[in-house]
Amino acid sequence: MIRLLRMLLSVVVLGVGLSLLWTATSIARYTEPEPIGPAAAIVVLSGPWEENSGGLSETFERVDRGIALWRDGQAPLLVMSGGGTRDGGLPGDAVAMTERAIAAGVPAEAVVTEAGSRSTLQNAWNSARLDAVDPAERVILVTHRYHLSRAVASFRWAGFGEIVAVAADPDEAQPVTPWLLLEGVKWPLNIARAASASAALALGVEDRHVIPWLR
């Protein structure tokens, strides 16, 4: 039993280590796509809640990059994807993201709010099922560099074809943050959840029963 536990621990440690190595390599190799557009939509993913730095500061960095891309004419549609509710009457991520875009001058009809996601896999799954989005068309995906590779993999799993990955922080030094380190855990979890969901769908399980597995 002890030997089995040691083996399992070794596998977990190896998986986390490889995931962090992959993430670090992806960050180091990131270059701004050229050209970025044109695309059918710009999908902006919400970020983690940051208690000590304004709550949605990282999320709003992503939103601002998405707005800049929209203003440059890279795509006609902005999709704000992220669920969650906040204490003190604050709006959920996607609602706050949409409000920020509209306040910056983006017409309301050019913004789609996807507020049902609690994970990157759900961001991908729910975005692919929006009436305004066709996964077969080219999309621009906006998030931070530490999150880009897992986000792209999640969106490919959800059925998106051509994805242009754009960083909200293309020129900044990458600090070692808890969110970066968590990618070591989230990658294996993503793979396990996506594989389980794919197996369930192949066996005929309804979508509504699969979505909770993706949290």
pLDDT tens, residue by residue, 5-26:
666 666 556 777 888 888 888 9
Cβ atoms < 10 Å from Cβ of 170: 13
When divided into structural domains, the chain yields a total of 1
Question: Does residue 23 lie within any of the structural domains?
Answer: no
pLDDT tier, 134 (very low <50, low <70, confident <90, very high otherwise): very high
Percent of the chain with pLDDT over 70: 87
pLDDT band at 114 (very low <50, low <70, confident <90, very high): very high
87 against 136, higher pLDDT: 136
Q: What are the Cα distances from residue 181, in Å, to 9, 119, 205?
A: 18, 17, 34
Q: How many CA atoms lie within 13 A of 93 on its CB side?
A: 29
Give the per-residue pLDDT at 174. Answer: 83
pLDDT tens-digit map of 48-57 = 876 555 567 8
Domain annotation covers residue 124: yes
Report if residue 85 sits inside a domain.
Answer: yes
Contact at 8 Å (CB) between 84 and 92?
Answer: yes
Would 86 be classed as within a structural domain? yes
Sheet holding 111-114, edge to edge: 111-114, 78-81, 41-45, 139-143, 163-167
End-to-end CA distance of the chain: 31
Q: What is the pLDDT of residue 75?
A: 98
Q: What is the reported pTM?
A: 0.91
19 is a domain residue: no
Cβ atoms of 158 and 133 within 8 Å: the answer is no
Mean pLDDT of 40-67: 85
Residue range 66-76: mean pLDDT, rounded: 98
How many CB atoms neighbour CB 62 within 10 A? 25
Q: Dmax over Cα atoms in the chain, in whole Å?
A: 62
Mean pLDDT for the stretch of residues 170-195 = 89
Helices (DSSP H) in the chain: which residue ranges? Answer: 2-29, 57-71, 93-103, 120-128, 145-157, 178-202, 207-210
For the purposes of burial, counting CB atoms within 10 Å of the CB of 92, is it exposed (0-12), middle (13-18) or buried (19 or more)? middle
Asked which of 18-32, 75-89, 159-173 is least confident by mean pLDDT, the reply is: 75-89
Assign residue 69 the CATH number of its domain.
Answer: 3.40.50.620
Residue 2 counted as domain residue: no
Amino acid at 128: A
183 located within any domain: no
The answer to the question of residue 94 being in a domain is yes
- What is the pLDDT of the chain when averaged over all its residues? 89
Phi, psi of 139 (to 5 degrees): -130, 150
* Domain carrying residue 89: 29-174
Mean pLDDT of 92-116: 94
